[in-house]
């Protein structure tokens, strides 16, 4: 018997031998048994059944007026893409390329601590601040990158105070972040950062032996992990808030098999979240690949083990978040946008975040700056000392990049069941595969993200009440 109902646009794929997963453009999803899927697409599913009502509630099918359902979908789609409304809000600034670390996977060809050839001038800094405030976004976050920006703390202070002065007139929602290994921070620096509401982001790769292997200091006599631990306490004591400093980790081949130890170290040092992050294929991580890299399949297996361990920790009463999973879960379970620049459609490069190098050069993303260190300037938008905001952010190059980074119409993405939760990374595609579109079947970023989304979907489908409750706590 044929039933009268309209099937709305959806994507689908086998989730297992027995079931299909269906998703629509706004991320609503449902699992259907093979037989039910066959009935649904051939209009043989009872339109008064509970299963059909589930499909209708997710706007995958309807017996109502299609135009009304499309209006509802359009509202949800606008919400999902609301990150585009404000344009570029994250502005990464590099006061200096000097650094006192010798990270084995360094992506930016750091300069020695004594080499001032890559220090920003006040003229360039002033022009960067002007360019940032020439943008339309009501929200401005200035994030200091490096090298290690704490090495040239006077320039950090100059930029903060220049931005605060300009903002007296522009009246934007202004915030700051400094990314530092913490080892050079003094109590006076921390007090200044607290006074100016500049959050602190740092790097922790795990227990002492692993952290010091991945991130040794240039001065071999100094113990990086020991200084890190001491200064984390100092920062928190001055700030009076354990959450004033956040940490990121990077997975080298020495990290594989040790995620439980890494997670335990984060908890021991008072952090309540971790972002289990794979290597980016830039700088030393690409140049010395055989020393630090690994097959992406090994990272995926480690990620799954790490996520399972974190879930068990939460079940035992310790609130602890895996950041990448939380980001994806928000996309899967809520109608809201997420501001993660590296996983947007269209890509967040340039239109969500941009980076300003020490010499005033502007790149669509930090990874574009990394490519420039190796004489590839494809992702350079211009220079604040020579070009206007309009010339750089409304120019042909950025238009071309964004036009080729909408997953809704990219080959291999357009019909992928996970497309609503994913995004494009044109800089990585260009670096690894030679063009901004890339080739999805051999794209490591694609392989990794799809595998992790699939694993999260497995957890959701299993329906363990404790796990679901933990996932919602991460989103909230």
Residues 41 and 185 in one domain: no
Closest residue by Cα to residue 350 from 404, 280, 386? 404
Residues 126 and 48 in one domain: no
Residues 240 and 379 in one domain: yes
CATH value at residue 372:
3.20.20.70
Residue 55 lies in a domain: yes
pLDDT reported for residue 1: 78
Residue 148 lies in a domain: yes
Residues 116 and 204 in one domain: yes
- The per-residue DSSP string of 57-78 comes to HTTSEESS-HHHHHHHHHHHHH
Task: Tell the burial category of 109 from Cβ atoms under 10 Å away from its Cβ (0-12, 13-18, 19+).
Answer: middle
Answer whether 205's CB lies under 8 Å from 255's CB: yes
The pTM (predicted TM-score) of the whole model is 0.94
Q: Identify the domain boundary among 383, 400, 421.
A: 383
Answer whether 19's CB lies under 8 Å from 40's CB: no
User: Could you tell me the residue range of the domain that residue 309 belongs to?
Assistant: 86-320+337-383
Each of the 476 residues of the chain gets a pLDDT tens digit; together they read: 788 999 999 999 999 999 999 999 999 999 999 999 999 999 999 999 999 999 999 999 999 999 999 999 999 999 999 989 889 999 999 999 999 988 888 776 666 777 778 899 999 999 999 999 999 999 999 999 988 999 999 999 999 999 999 999 999 999 999 999 999 999 999 999 999 999 999 999 999 999 999 999 988 888 999 999 999 999 999 999 989 999 999 999 999 999 999 999 999 999 999 999 998 766 655 565 677 889 999 999 999 999 999 999 999 999 999 999 999 999 999 988 888 888 899 999 999 999 999 999 999 998 888 888 888 999 999 999 999 999 999 999 999 999 999 999 999 999 999 999 999 999 999 988 999 999 999 999 999 999 999 999 999 999 999 999 999 999 98
Residues 41 and 107 in one domain: no
Residue 127 lies in a domain: yes
Residue 234 lies in a domain: yes
Residues 67 and 91 in one domain: no
Q: Identify the domain boundary among 31, 53, 80.
A: 80
Closest residue by Cα to residue 159 from 92, 100, 211? 92
Residues 145 and 181 in one domain: yes
| Count of domains observed in the chain | 2
Cα(416)–Cα(81) distance, rounded to whole angstroms? 18
pLDDT reported for residue 372: 86
The alpha-carbon radius of gyration of the chain (Å, integer) is: 24
Residues 107 and 67 in one domain: no
Q: What is the residue whose two structure tokens read 């930016």?
A: 108
Residue 54 lies in a domain: yes
Residues 191 and 294 in one domain: yes
Residue 429 lies in a domain: no
Residue 217, strand partner residues: 101
Residues 254 and 360 in one domain: yes
Residue 426 lies in a domain: no
How crowded is residue 155: how many other Cβ atoms within 10 Å of its Cβ?
Answer: 22
Answer whether 356's CB lies under 8 Å from 347's CB: no
Residue 291 lies in a domain: yes
Cα(82)–Cα(326) distance, rounded to whole angstroms? 19
Residues 35 and 139 in one domain: no
Residues 40 and 90 in one domain: no
Q: Identify the domain boundary among 48, 80, 112.
A: 80
């Amino acid at each position: 018997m044929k039933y009268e109902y309209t099937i709305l646009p959806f994507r689908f794929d086998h989730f297992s031998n027995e079931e299909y997963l269906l998703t629509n453009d706004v991320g609503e999803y449902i699992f259907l048994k093979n037989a039910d899927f066959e009935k649904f697409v051939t209009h043989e599913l009872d339109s008064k059944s509970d299963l059909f009502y589930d499909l209708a509630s997710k706007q995958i099918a309807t017996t109502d007026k299609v135009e009304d359902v499309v209006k509802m979908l359009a509202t949800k789609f606008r919400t999902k893409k609301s990150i585009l409304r404000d344009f570029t809000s994250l502005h990464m600034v590099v006061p200096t390329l000097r650094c006192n670390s010798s990270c084995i996977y360094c992506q930016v060809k750091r300069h020695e601590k004594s080499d001032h050839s890559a220090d920003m001038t006040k003229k360039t800094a002033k022009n960067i601040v002007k360019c940032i405030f020439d943008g339309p976004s009501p929200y401005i976050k200035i994030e200091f990158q490096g090298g290690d920006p704490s090495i040239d703390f006077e320039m950090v202070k100059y930029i903060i105070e220049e931005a605060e002065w300009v903002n007296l007139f522009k009246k934007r929602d202004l915030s700051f972040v400094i990314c530092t290994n913490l080892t050079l921070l003094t109590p006076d620096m921390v007090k200044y950062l607290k006074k100016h509401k500049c959050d602190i982001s740092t790097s922790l790769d795990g227990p002492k032996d692993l952290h010091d292997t991945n991130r040794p200091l240039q001065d071999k006599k100094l113990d990086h992990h020991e200084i890190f631990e001491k200064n984390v306490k100092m920062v928190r004591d001055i700030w009076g808030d354990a959450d004033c400093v956040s940490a990121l980790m990077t997975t080298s081949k020495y990290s594989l098999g040790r995620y439980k130890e890494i997670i335990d170290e984060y908890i021991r040092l008072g952090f309540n979240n971790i972002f289990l992050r794979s290597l980016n294929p830039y700088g030393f991580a690409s140049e010395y690949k055989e020393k630090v890299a690994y097959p992406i399949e090994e990272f995926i297996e480690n990620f799954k083990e790490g996520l399972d361990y974190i879930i068990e920790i939460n079940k035992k009463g310790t609130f602890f978040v895996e950041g990448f999973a939380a980001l994806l879960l928000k996309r899967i379970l809520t109608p809201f946008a997420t501001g993660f620049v590296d996983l947007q459609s269209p890509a967040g490069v340039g239109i969500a975040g941009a980076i300003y190098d020490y010499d005033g050069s502007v790149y669509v993303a930090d990874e574009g700056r990394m490519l420039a260190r190796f004489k590839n300037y494809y992702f350079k938008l211009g220079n604040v000392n020579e070009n206007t905001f309009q010339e750089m952010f409304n120019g042909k190059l950025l238009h071309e990049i964004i036009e080729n980074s909408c997953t809704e119409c990219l080959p291999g993405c357009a019909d992928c069941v996970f497309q609503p939760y994913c995004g494009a990374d044109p800089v990585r595609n260009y670096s690894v595969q030679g063009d901004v579109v890339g080739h999805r079947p051999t794209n490591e970023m694609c392989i990794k993200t799809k595998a992790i989304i699939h694993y999260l979907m497995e957890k959701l489908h299993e329906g363990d009440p404790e796990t679901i409750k933990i996932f919602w706590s991460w989103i909230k």
